[in-house]
Structure 1
Amino acid sequence: MVRKLLTSIFLCVLTCSGLQAQQRLLSKVIVNGFYTTSMNFVLDSLMSKYKLKIVYDREQASRVGISERFVEEPINGALKTLCRQADMHYWVDADTTIYIVKSQEDVRLLKKKAALDNVHPEVRSMRVRTETVANSEVIPKVDKAFRLSGRIVDQISGESLPGAVVSVERNNIRATTNADGYFTLANIPSDTCVISTSYVGYIPDRLSLKHVDVSQKMIIGLSVARNSLEEVEIKGKRNDGIMSTDKRKVSVLQISPAKLAELPNLGEKDIMRSFQLMPGVSASNESSSGAYVRGGTPDQNLVLFDGFTVYQVDHLYGFFSAFNSNAVKDVQLFKGGFSAKYGGRLSSVTDITGKEGNQKDWNIGGDLSLLSANIYLESPVMKSGTLLLAARKSYQGPLYNKLFNQFNKTTTTATPNAGPGGGRGFGGATAVSTPSSYFYDLNAKYTVNIGEKDLLSWSIYQGDDDLDNSRDITLPSFLTTSTVSSGPSITDKTTYGNLGSSLKWSRRWNNKLYSNTLASYSTYHSDRNRSNTMSVTNSDGIATEVTSGTIEQNKLQDWSIKSDWEYQASNKLKILFGGYGSAQDVIYKYSQNDTSTLIDQNRKASVVTGYAEAEYSPVEKLQFKGGIRSTFYDQTKRLYYEPRFSGSYLLTDRFTINAATGRFYQFMNRVVREDILSGSKDFWVLANGTTIPVGSADHYIMGFSYETDKYLFDVEGYYKNLNDLTEYSQRTTGNRRSSTLEEHFYNGRGYTSGVEFLAQKKAGKYTGWVSYTMAIARNQFDAYSADYYSANQDARNEFKSVNMYKWNNWTFSATWIYASGKPYTAPVASYTVDNVSGNARTYLTISGKNTERMPAYHRLDLAATLDLIKVDSRKTGSISFSLFNVYNHTNIWYKEYTIYNNQVITSNINYLGLTPNITLSLKWK
């Protein structure tokens, strides 16, 4: 009995020693490298480079293709990844020999085979490596120019990377991956070539084709650039920044969602707001995450999410965008002169591609800040599918209270009357508000590969806001009378949201032809009740409540189908073509005092579009892109032609000039409803060709850039001519009631022009950029003025400084923004007139259109982000600390006016002051 016990203890000690040896092996060996070859080549390389003992069935391993990049990956993680692709398992013996097997029984068989051959595993491995080198010519040798096609994916998740640049070194052969990550390179020289790949926010890579079977489709994986990685010297341009510009494309910005946490943020990492830090995109619209691009308004920016149109891109009064960054893979902003593939907007295009989910392993993660929480889940489904789920919701925490209590901190003054019945007035009115608001959004996406050529994906998004900014105004004693004894109670409730979905079929017909066909549905709704309730006492001493105000309802539905095709004729010529059809239904109701309906519109329209475009590079340094888009709009029964053209020329390897021009039409407008008292509001309407014409714009863009491995200097000038703009206003008709729609719409024209300067440091521990935009936006409406006046979004000067410094696992950032004050129209005084029926009417005397300007806008934001790294060098999350508006500068959002007892009470609605925030981001794997 004692002998058995001692034997058991001895075996346990041996087992523990073996396990400890295994753990030491698995924790100490860190794998780095990129492999695109068969599994036996990979295992041989690991044995040679890291002095490992690996035993495996060579015949089985040679039939498995591997395309993986390992960055600071522990050996157990690398083996797990390799075995998953080969449908095998790994076993580490007590003597640290690694066995790659189908089952545990295979370990015994491999040991027995090694004993029979009287060969030690390490010696056997050396022999295998020698045989491998000798048989390296099994790869078919190419003795003439060949074509190479493949796909660029995320190394960890396997998701495709759209917009990645693939090129042949020391050659002009270059391609950009499409929406699903595919690329094709033609006429590659037969001698040994090196393929370079780069993607914003990822580590660039180089791959030799010497031992690659070029007749097969390649899968190249890239890894996210992390702070903890040592800087790698790579020949070519680094592209691991947060944002990038492509010197061969005109006015295009691309963003890396994976790097957003490094920037200062208000509540959480925000995709749309990050674009505001670049030149040409206004950063002083703190209350809107919509893009004001080169003097355009947010409705003139086409926003696509997985192919369907998103009409409202704001949450919580615009302080946050409607897009959860954990559900976004790629974002591109075209600031002007964009491709014939896009249409229906006058200013810009924001094209967002949602994440597909991890193809290799399930994962769960999320973010928690002082304002909101979100969670996401991604997982493979069966063998060829992926699923992504994401949800986000705000809650009433410290930052929430800070955000909405700003509405209580308004500067309120009373303006004396200058007309009949007026009297002098002084400041003192105060507003008391208890806001109760929230938002939520949901994302879901399922993607499945059907064979090697077909890909299906279904995406859905829903986001809603419920905002309540109701408040009571306490009047000063000089404004109270015997009939009006107390201030008004203001009801200000708004609900709005989006629902969108798309079903996309992608097919790679062959190495030259690729197509995307998509059916989508999108809807938007907005309901607002803004009314004033005041207690009035009559001569008999009886108090009654008098309610006045406005009620608005806006609902939009959009059904569409489109098909986009790409034909890669050669490296010099690429042809894009496709078709698009949509049907819209828009409802808008606008009522006053619950009794008088001023607008009651329900209009339907449809458009049918076709386009064709060619990208041509006749010589190495010159590239042209020309195309035409034609649209039939059933409301006007007209065909609208939109020619587009852009070009770039590389004067040297570092110096590029580019230019673009084109015509653009917009058939659905978010019309500005000028409301002097409560601030301008917008609503969507369809153009009818008469009172609401089809808007048009002509773009003229020219610029140049100078780029090195570490620096980028870019200058771009633009001019946009705008025609058939529409605005809705009642101010020129006094308080006259009307049940007709057209009577209150006014048409005009405008132009925007400006110059943008950017200096960026792209590489090193310190990175960042400074930018300056000098811009003009002016309109001319006959109803307001015979001359041009400053548009609402006019910001003459904007300066931005973005600075980031990396130290170990920390990233420190600082952003400073300065912008000229925006114009506005203000009431000068009010007066009362008795009409023929004896009823008193109050009217406003107002300033000229947008002749007043707000004070200059400026703020400083600071942030520090700590990457949370496991002992195996994997990033599992981050914690961010941020300070918004560090020196607590008061920036005015807009002015609101209220008339009581013939006095104009002015309230300055301010942006946020000093606001701290903490955001914790975690993921399971």
Structure 2
Amino acid sequence: MKRLLCLLFVFGSMGAFGQKIITVNYNGTSLKMVLLDLESKMDISFSYAENVVAGKRVTLSSSNITETDLLTELMEQTGLIFEKVSEKQVIISKPSTKTDVCGYLFDSDTSTPLPYATVVLAGTTNGTITDENGFFQIQNVEQSQGLLIEYVGFADKTLKVSDYVTDDCKNIIMLPETQSLKEVVVLAYLTTGIDKNTDGSFTLNNAKQGILPGLVEPDVFQSIQLIPGITSLDESAAGIQIRGGSPDQNLIFFDGIKMYNTGHFFGMISAFNPYVTESAKIYKGGASPEYGDRISGVIDITTDANVPRKTTGGIGINGTHADGFLKAALGEKAALILSARRSYTDVLETPTYTALSKKVFQNTRVVTDVSGEIIDDDDDDISEILGGDSFFFYDTNAKLLLQPSKNDNISISGLLTNNDLDFFSRDEEDVTEDKLIVENQGASFNWNGTKFGKLQHSLKAYYSSFDSEYENVVSEDLEIEERNFRRNTVEDYGFDFNLAYEFIPQHSIKLGYQYSNLDVFFQLFRDEPDGDDDLDPDDEDEFPLPSSAREFNVRRSNTNQANSVYGEYIFRPQNKGLLSLGVRGSHYSSVDELFLEPRVNIEYPIFPIIRVKGTAEKRYQPVSQLIEFEDIQLRLENNIWTLSNDNDIPILESTQLSAGLLVDSNGWTLDIDGYVKNITGLTSFTNGFTNTAEEISQGESDIFGVDVLLKKSIADYRIWLGYTYNNVEYTFEALQANPFPGNNDVTHNFRISNTLDVQNWELSLGWSYRTGTPFTPVDSFSATTGAINFGNLNSRRLPNYHRLDASMLYKFGNTNDSGFRGTFGVSFQNLYNRQIPISVFYRVDENPDTGRQELDQIEQLSLGFMPNATLRLFF
């Protein structure tokens, strides 16, 4: 060791003695002059950029300084790097300021990680996204740069790179947007991404939504069914009933396009791609007066509203269809969003499709005797209608986003959905073929902006088209015995312009005008070619038809022009309370009347954790659905849109009052809402009674209900119980002297659900129970004439309904610059495979052996065990 130290000393001394010793004397001399002086005194050359040495000065005085000591001193005084690359060459440069940065993003309210947030270098498009744990890392970044963090629903955040180097990956707390903070009273009402607002509405954010029982994709229509007061009695995504109202009484928008059909596969699957759906706002009651023309709930769905900073996309497949989407940034002020989905069920049948098709296409036929009692026959007691089908659906939508200024956002959207079915079935000697095509088209224009800081303006225009064409043919030995044809078209276009102004802090007013033109057409055709009196195609029958009509050809076409003005005053105190007073006035040309709709919505915190709330509203609806009851086996899509008139189809009118209490503290949430609702203008055709009278009759419904939610959050585990008491009573004096339970009278509806997040896993389990729906029994049946005598309306109930659902989702991938990540999930609906009748209707048929009339009781069973799986890749 001593010998090694001696050798190092000798070589170091030789290097020092070999260096030239010079004399220097500088006093605040510019570095450039110093370098020129040294080049003249030393046999050496300095290479540098002018901007590197600019502004640098040196103070140094020495009569015997070596080259090494001189360069060391210059580095200390200037902060520059002097690198000797050869005996006579020195390169001068600035020291590297690049580093690696990292951090973890968290929600300020729930302390949960924020996955898939965008993190970019300020002023550039370079960056990354956070992983499932909210973590991000960017390498080789200039410390002088800033970081811009963006996450939907949260305020943007700008940070210094120097504060977040990789030696210390700090937690970064993100705050919800100011506007969201004003509106939201309960974050993660059920799970993450489902929030409750001060006006009683719910906001669903698809990007943030956690897993739910039986679901592996964030479908709006399936997700909201876990909110008390919202359900679907036929287990579909499109059959949403809100507080005792029917599905056609809900106002549904997609990017401002008014929708008249919202489902694929006869409503079992939502018609909207959830991966381009940014958010949805749902009202059970107390909606703003800018929402009109429907008397029940409001579901307002929007796709991306802001121009993305970078191009992203994704592809995926599940048990029924495949899809893809692309969000392409076209510079800083424009973007194009594209998406498409298509089922592959016409080429491949999966267990998911098999379960759905059994639910939709297979009905149970029960044969009864002349007294209406079920015949106990092993062959005919419970026999399934056998058949096959060719079915597919697709949807596509495009959206152009423009942001010409900081205060203006413009979007143009287009939507196309299609369902195509060819189904046949054989029941004894009859062969039945059903063909159905359902198509929706729509487009919208939206311009939202802010002027002078407090004046907000909005201009919206839309076009919506719905076309449904259904044909049913019954044959025996290749001879047509019966042909049924039904077509229903809706064409709707309009615009909305409104201004909102905050005239005093926390006080604002909104005024608006809406115009719409609605054309509705339907045709009902039935012919029996072998009959004595075949139908003349030129004949046209009056509507409504008597229930005994065997042949008919009905056409009805109506137009309604609606002119509406509305105004709303809103006061939002600093304690997150709300007072909203509004009124809407509409003139409908189809009945040539003016209708006024007052609206009141109040919510006030009496304590920091306790809030009271109440709403009152009157609403009108000029368009609704008839329910066609014919003795065909499937009754596919038998709802028909029609306009109200001043004759047989009146304007629907709803009056609703509600009051409630909300408690939210320490992870506990208790939400109670009671409500009463009266609906007038109902008809026996719009409610689909089994024993429809010869003439159309009008009636009303009285609804009383209570919605209750109790939820507890413990770290990443959530459990909630939802319960709805609902009493729906119909009064149709022409049908029955006494009131009777409504078709959707489900007295008790209960759910218990759990969700758990464990690292990259999300797990969920839920059980649901509800009272069976009412139906009208048969008292007696004549095998000679085929006449049916019904009992009291809805005097019996189907079996109570319950099922157990589970789902699991795994997230994988990393957060490099490509942003590649993915998810894999599985779900199981009705784990114990319990099936019960969820609807009953009747059909008279002739026995081919005896020639006598038989009464078939057709029962549609609930969904059986249905597995599903999904694989998604994002980039």
TM-score (structure 2 length as normaliser): 0.75
Number of the residue aligned with 2:721 = 770
| Residue 860 to residue 525, structure 1, CA distance change in 2 (3 Å) | same
How far does residue 602 in structure 1 lie from its aligned partner after superposition? 0.9
Give the equivalent residue in structure 1 for 2:368: 415
> Following the alignment from structure 1 to structure 2, what is the Cα–Cα distance between the partners of residues 430 and 602?
38
Call closer, same or farther: CA 1:405–1:430 in 2, change over 3 Å: closer
Change (3 A) 1:822 1:569: same
Change in CA separation of 1:567 and 1:894 when aligned onto 2, cut-off 3 Å: same
State the match for 1:82 in structure 2: 122
In the alignment, structure 1 segments of 5+ residues that lack a partner are: 1-10, 12-21, 35-68, 88-95, 101-124, 133-153, 167-180, 182-202, 208-218, 224-234, 475-486, 536-543, 737-742, 834-840
Q: Is the 8 A contact 2:627 2:687 kept in 1?
A: no
Instruction: Specify the alignment match of 2:639 in structure 1.
Output: 682
Partner residue of 1:14? none
Query: Would the aligned equivalents of 2:786 and 2:854 in 1 still touch at CA under 8 Å?
Result: no
Please tell me whether residue 564 in structure 1 is matched to residue 498 in structure 2.
yes
Q: Tell me the secondary structure at the aligned position of residue 569 of structure 1.
A: strand
The one-letter code of the counterpart of 1:706 is: V
1:288–1:661 CA distance, 2 compared to 1 (3 A) = same
Distance 1:533 1:847 in 2: 33
Instruction: Rate the CA distance shift 1:871–1:775 in 2: closer, same or farther, 3 A.
Output: same
- Say if 1:678 and 1:897, in contact at 8 Å, map to a contact too: no
- Structure 1 stretch 304-313 or stretch 461-470: which is displaced more? 461-470
Pair 1:915 & 2:866 matched: yes
Counterpart CA distance in 2 for 1:722 and 1:221 is 35
Q: Any conservation in 2 of the 1:722–1:750 contact (CA below 8 Å)? A: yes
SS in 1 for 2:222: helix
Q: Is the 8 A contact 1:829 1:903 kept in 2?
A: no
Is the counterpart of residue 692 in structure 1 residue 660 in structure 2? no
708 and 735 in structure 1: CA distance in 2 versus 1, 3 angstrom threshold: closer
Q: How has the CA–CA distance of structure 1 residues 592 and 370 changed in structure 2, closer, same or farther, with 3 Å as cutoff? A: same
What's 2:211 paired with?
262
| Aligned residue type for 2:102 | I
Partner of 2:230, secondary structure, is: coil
Counterpart selection for 1:499 from 408, 429, 441:
441
- The equivalent residue for 1:470 is 424
2:527 equivalent in structure 1? 593
Give the direction of change, closer, same or farther, for the CA distance of 1:779–1:640 in structure 2 (3 Å limit): same
Which of 249, 270, 274 lines up with 2:199 in the alignment? 249
Coordinate RMSD, CA, aligned: 3.7
Q: Could you report, residue by residue, the CA deviation over 1:31-68 in whole angstroms, capped at 9, with x for unpaired residues?
A: 3479xxxxxxxxxxxxxxxxxxxxxxxxxxxxxxxxxx
Query: 8 Å contact 2:783–2:854 — kept in the other structure?
Result: no
Aligned to 2:412: 458
Which residue identity is paired with 2:752?
S
Query: Paired residue for 2:453, among 495, 498, 511?
Result: 511
Q: Which residue of 2 aligns with 1:870?
A: 814
Q: Which amino acid aligns with 2:773?
A: K
AA aligned to 1:440 is Y
Equivalent-residue separation in structure 1 for 2:264 and 2:757 (angstroms): 31
Moved over 6 A (4+): 69-74, 219-223, 235-240, 422-425, 729-736
From 793, 796, 800, the counterpart of 1:849: 793
Task: Specify whether residues 619 and 362 from structure 1 end up closer, same or farther in structure 2 by C-alpha distance, changes over 3 A only.
Answer: closer
How far apart, CA to CA, are the structure 1 residues paired with 2:391 and 2:813?
Answer: 36
Which residue of 397, 400, 410 maps to 2:353? Answer: 400
* 8 Å contact from structure 1 (residues 492, 529) kept in 2: yes
2:522 maps to a residue whose letter is: Y
* Structure 2 counterpart of 1:894: 839
CA distance in 1, matches of 2:180, 2:326: 22
Q: Give the aligned partner of residue 531 of structure 2.
A: none
In 2, are the aligned partners of 1:679 and 1:894 still within 8 Å (CA)?
A: no
User: Quick check: 1:357–1:388 contact (8 Å CA) kept in 2?
Assistant: no
Q: CA deviation at 1:674?
A: 4.3
Question: Which residue, out of 239, 246, 265, partners 1:297?
Answer: 246
Picking from 717, 726, 732, the partner of 1:781 is: 732
Structure 1's 729 and 498: CA in aligned 2 closer, same or farther, altered over 3 A?
closer
Structure 1 stretch displaced more, 556-565 or 889-898:
889-898
Contact kept? 1:242, 1:255, Cα under 8 Å:
no
TM-superposition CA deviations, 1:624-674 (whole Å, max 9, x none):
110110001112221100011111121111000000001000011112334
Q: Check whether the contact 2:365–2:383 (CA below 8 A) recurs between aligned residues.
A: yes
**Cα–Cα, structure 1 residues 439 and 724, in superposed 2: closer, same or farther, change >3 Å?**
same
Partner residue of 1:205? 174
Give the structure 2 partner of residue 577 of structure 1.
511
> CA contact under 8 A between 2:216 and 2:809: conserved in structure 1?
no
Kindly indicate whether the alpha-carbon contact (under 8 Å) linking 2:684 and 2:692 is maintained by their aligned counterparts in 1.
no
Q: Hey, what's the Cα distance between the residues in 2 that align with 1:751 and 1:650?
A: 31
Partner of 2:702: 751
The equivalent of 2:677 in structure 1 is 720
Q: Is the 8 A contact 1:803 1:815 kept in 2?
A: yes
Kept after mapping to 2: 8 A contact 1:645/1:662: yes
Choose the corresponding residue for 2:563, options 608, 612, 632. 608
Does the 8 A contact of 2:434 with 2:473 survive in 1?
yes
Q: CA deviation at 1:744?
A: 4.8
- State the partner residue of 2:615: 660
Matches within 5 A, 1:303-702: 303-356=252-305, 359-396=308-345, 397-398=349-350, 399-406=352-359, 410-418=363-371, 427=381, 429-474=383-428, 487-535=429-477, 545-593=479-527, 595=535, 596-617=551-572, 620=575, 623-675=578-630, 678=633, 681-702=638-659
Counterpart of 1:514 in structure 2: which amino acid? Q
The AA in structure 2 aligned to 1:684 is: W
- The structure where helix makes up a greater share of residues is 1
The Cα shift of 1:322 comes to 1.2
- Provide the rounded CA distance (Å) in 2 between the counterparts of 1:793 and 1:239: 26
What is the Cα deviation at residue 258 of structure 1? 2.1
1:400 and 1:423 map into 2 onto residues whose CA distance is 33
Q: CA deviation at 1:403?
A: 2.0
Point out the structure with max Rg over C-alpha: 2
Distance 2:139 2:650 in 1: 77
1:46-125 map, 5 Å = 81-82=121-122, 84=124, 100=142
Kindly tell me the number of residue pairs found equivalent between the two proteins: 710
d(CA) in 2 for partners of 1:732, 1:772: 28
How much does 1:523 deviate?
0.8
Describe the SS at the equivalent of 1:436. Answer: strand
The answer (yes or no) to whether the contact 1:260–1:270 under 8 Å persists in 2 is no
Compared CA separation, residues 240 and 441, structure 1 to 2 (3 A): same
State whether residues 457 and 504 of structure 1, in contact with CA within 8 Å, keep that contact through their aligned partners in structure 2: yes
State the distance in 2 between where 1:658 and 1:792 align.
Answer: 30
- When residues 548 and 713 of structure 1 are mapped into structure 2, their CA distance, relative to the original with a 3 A threshold, is same
Distance 1:72 1:347 in 2: 36
**1:453-492, CA deviations, whole angstroms, 9 ceiling, x for partnerless residues?**
3221101111111134421113xxxxxxxxxxxx211223
What displacement does 1:781 show? 1.7
2: CA distance between counterparts of 1:310 and 1:506?
A: 21
- Aligned AA (1:275): I
Displacement after TM superposition at 1:713 (Å) = 0.5
The Cα shift of 1:582 comes to 0.4
SS of the equivalent of 1:842 reads coil
8 A Cα contact 1:472 1:488, kept in partner: yes
Aligned partners of 2:228, 2:688: CA distance in 1, in Å?
35
CA contact (8 A) 2:195 2:204 kept: no
Show CA shifts across 1:866-904 (max 9, x none): 111316596712111111110111132433533223111
Question: CA distance change for structure 1 residues 432 and 692 in 2, over 3 Å: closer, same or farther?
Answer: same
Instruction: Quote the offset at 1:575 in angstroms.
Output: 0.8
Distance in structure 2 (CA, Å) of the matches to 1:598 and 1:863:
49
Give percent identity, aligned residues only.
24
1:72 to 1:366, Cα distance in 2 relative to 1, 3 A: closer
CA–CA distance in structure 1, aligned partners of residues 864 and 113 of structure 2: 45
TM-score w.r.t. the length of structure 1 is 0.71
State the distance in 2 between where 1:221 and 1:744 align. 53
